[in-house]
Structures are given as C-alpha cells and as structure tokens.
Structure 1
Amino acid sequence: MYDVPLWLWLAFAVTVVVSLTVDLLAHRTAHVIRFKEAAAWSGLWVGLALLFGAVVFAVLGTTAGTEYTTAWLLEKSLSVDNLFVFAVIFAYFKVPRAYQHRVLFFGVIGALVFRAIFLSLGVAVVSRFTAVLYAFAAALFYSTYKLLKGEEESFDPGKSFAVRALRKIIPVRDAYAGERFFVREEGRRVATPLLAVVAAIEGADLIFAVDSVPAVLAISDDAFIVYTSNAFAILGLRALYFMLSGLLDRFHYLSVGLAIILSFIGVKLVLQASHKIISPAVPEIPSPVSLAVIVVVLAASVGLSLLRSAGPKPDQHPGPPPPGA
C-alpha cells in the first residue's frame, strides 16, 4: 500500500468531475460523432491518463507509476471487448447514432460507481485472504479458454438481467422520445428505450468486471492505483468506441491477444499467491515485465489484424496477369 496524500485523491476527483462536465457541455446538443471528433477526444483522454500517470510517478515513485501505467493499459486492452457489446446493444435497440453518446456518458458514470465498489471489495478481500488470488487466476484461465475456443457467451440485450429488472420496476415504452429517459403517458411516468439501453450497458459492464477486477488486482493491491487506472481507462471508452465503431470487425486476432494477456495475468496471480502463502522463494513477475508483455502482445495482435485486413479477401482473385508478364 502506498502513502497517498489526500491532495492527490482530491486532484483525481476534481480531474474526473471537470473532465466529465466539459465532455457533457461539449456534447449538450445531440449529434453524430464522426471519426475526426472521436479521435480528438480519444487523444485527449489518453493524454490525460498519461499526464496523471506522470504525476503518480513523481509523487509516489517509479514502482507505483509503473503499476498505474500497467493497470491502465491492461484495463484499456480488456475494455475493447466492451466495444463489441456496445455495438450489439445499439443495433438491438436501434439507437439513433445521435443519441449514442448520451447513453455511453451515463453508462460511464455508472461504471465508475460500480468499479469503485467492486475494486474496494476486491482489495479488502485480497488483503485478508491471499488464497483468493488462486480463485481469481482460475477465473482468468477459464476466460482464456473461452476466448481461444470461441465459446464466449453471446450477449442478448433484451434478456439482460439489468433490462429485465428495469422492466419490473417501471414500464418501458417502445418509441424513443429524443434524448429523454422518461415521459408521461396517460398520467403515469414511463421509461423510454434509451433508459433500457443504459441498463443494458451497465449490465454488460458488470459481466466484464468478472475479468477486469481480478486482472487489475494482479498488478497492484493498492486502492488508489487500481481505481484511478480503471477510471481513466473507462473515461476514454466512449471516444474509443466512436473512433473504432466502423473498424471493429477488422480486429481478427484481438481475441487471441486478449487470451494471451489474461493467461499471463493468471500465471502472475498464481506466482503472487504462492510467493505469499507457500514460500518467498517462489518468484514473482515484476510490474515492468507485465507492462512489456501487455504492450508487445496488444501491439502484435492489432498489427497482425490490420495486416490481414489490408490483404486480399478470401473470395477475391488477383485477376489475370498483365500483358507481357
């Protein structure tokens, strides 16, 4: 655990609140987010995360800074899976593109709250019951198996527990009403499909937390490191979605890369638990090594995917050779 000064926690909180406020004001009028705008915002979020990481390096030291950077990059890579689910949810509910940013904005706020709860519980459990790291490792190995075998469960937004729970609490009308979440019909308050979409987004994030929380706890058991790194990764998720929404089907090898990363983190958890429970002679994987592995694997999976996308399609033929060939 690091001795985090109160002002650093306050600086983080102010940064998040100000950033979300600026984002909300910049998008107060519903419009379609184009690639250029999304890329600018994505660069801003990445820059903000790295700038905060530099502050962590300066205030808490090299080890803390490396752990923050590793945890942020790990969460960033794992969150790419969320983007595919966002696309499924938006298609299922036929969400107009102009309203998608508003949905993701409130989805991010909910994710920040739920991740704070889950990560706090995770840190508390790990600090008292080190053996739980073996269970976390088992969960990551199982996720690796599903990714490599292509046995990921399909996500049906209409059957999401969050959406079903919402429908039990309040009636949900079929038609959208602009960007409104509630309207009054026949004297009663009813929800619009936009609120159901937010519920589906939150439900999906809870599912992804099953992998995300154990993985980030393998990098650090410090509450400040794990939460701030998660928060900055989540904050940039919306811009990343709008930037890559038309390119998601090109990342053919991303699932393989994520599987390798999850299995590596699983091994790291096993060694970490064994070092504490069995013997100090059991080696641990240093954070700089973890950071290097994540960077290399992620870059390789994305690079190979783009190379495959740039090549000829399986059903395309190069055509006859030019004259004189």
Structure 2
Amino acid sequence: MEGSSVLNFPSSKTHFKVTSHKLYSPFKQTQVVNFHPKQFRNSNSISKTHFLLSSTRSISKSILSPCLAVAEPLETITNNNSSAKDNLPKIDKSGRFCSPRAARELALSIVYASCLEGSDPIQLFEKRLNVRREPGYEFDKSLLLEYNHMTFGGPPVSTQTEEEAEELLHKSEKESAIEAEVLSAPPKLVYSKLILRLTKKMLVAIVDSWEKHVLVIDKIAPPNWKNVPASRILELCILHLAMSEITVLGTRHQIIINEAVDLAKRFCDGTAPRIINGCLRTFVKNHSGITNVAQPLEARRQNK
C-alpha cells in the first residue's frame, strides 16, 4: 500500500510544504515512518529549505505540531535537574557546541527533516555538511553562547500590564530568532568535529535499527500516535533516536530516557514527554534485553 500526504507546518520562522510518501510496511495500519533506510531517493529532490526545530517556549513552536491550540501546558523543569547539566561545557575552545545534547538535537533535526522529505538521513546529513555557503555569509558565533539547550515550555504566563506583555513577547521573539539562526547555520560552523562524528554515529544507529524498532514502536506507542503518525513524526523520531542509542551505541538507558524526555519537553507539545517516558521504560523492560532496570531520574520526579 502506497500513498502520499501533504503536511503543512505553519510557522513565523519559515513556511514550507512537503509531500511525504508512506513506506511499504508489514503493518499497513501503523505506517509510523516516512523514510526508508538505505533506499535512497533522488538526491536532487532534497529541498534546500532548512527544517527548523523550535522549542515549545518560542513563539514559533507551531512548526512541530498542528495540535498546538489544544496542547496541555508543559511542566517547567526543576532547578535541580538543570543545574547538573549546566555544569557541562557547552562551547569548546574553537567556539563550537561540544555537548552530547547538541549532537542529539542535530540528529533529531536531520531525522525529522528526512522523514518529511522521504530521504535518507545519513545522505541528508552529508549534504548539510557539504553545502556551499552563500557569498558573503557570516555566522555570528556569539549566538552560540546565548542559545539555550535547556529552554523548556511552561504554564501560560499572565501579565499585569501591556508593557510586561510586550517585554515577554520581545524576549520570546529574540530566543526564536537565535534558534532559527543557529539551527539553520552550516553545521561545521556550529558543532565541533567530535559532535559531528557523534551525530553521524547516532544517525547510522537509527538507520541500522529502524525496521526492528518500527515493530517495537507498533507495540508500545499509544493508538492515537499510530493511527495518525503524520501528526507525531517528531515524537516518533525521538523514540527512534533513544532506542538506537540504547541498543546500538550502548549508552546507559537512564541517561537516554532523561535526554529523550528533555527533547520532548523542548520540542513537543502536550503529554508527549510523559508518553515518551512511558514508552521507553516499557522498551527497556520488555524489548531491549536489558536487565535490572533502574527507574530514571525523570520518571522518579514525575511519580512524586
């Protein structure tokens, strides 16, 4: 069964329309993914548009979900959780991102774009690495110091005066502009060589385990995600990234579950963080072959 659907993601950052093609799948009613690993499409069909992930805190977060208007408010991250991660260096001596979180964000953006385009993520990654810069283009590296990997959505904010509202709007628009500039810049200017190598390892792991993990996701994902996969592409990409890191790269599952929940808080809407947490805990317990499963920090916090 083959079909196509047109996805529209309105955004104040960029507007694009992508025709995505469903895969041949042994479970036709749950075609969870929109790219076929190792079966490259015509490379000329890859759009020059950069597919930007924007945090749920920014004005332009609707790029990630058509269900933004009915999304539930996300929990604000606690100070204890953020302080430990803030101690890790974000920028190396060359002035580029050097944290594993940066690699995961980049890998997620590549897989997300490849699903929308129907292209291979590794091929798309290589194209982004080798894209020619426009004449006169200069990237402001000071933006990397302002970019915040730990910006999460929170409950609705109320203000007492119009001036306060305008100030908050200005701050949000500034954060959105920084994210757009950083995430659309040539990767070699933004990420260290180590992070680019780690990103490629993640993408290779995702591609190599894709078919196997599609079958697992069909068992552990909620029915509404599987019934309308086009509206949950990003959430499913987070699951694939996390599952491949656990099973292929061998990263500790406690770390990966916390990272996946953070990515969902940052880029997704509504109950996605809780659902992803539950899906990955089920995956680790029943489908990954890992024994002595300890409850991750994020799960313990949510259960309090």
Asked whether the two chains share a fold, i.e. TM above 0.5, the reply is no
Larger gyration radius, structure 1 or structure 2: 1
Normalising by structure 1, what TM-score? Answer: 0.27
Greater helix content? 1
Normalising by structure 2, report the TM-score. Answer: 0.28
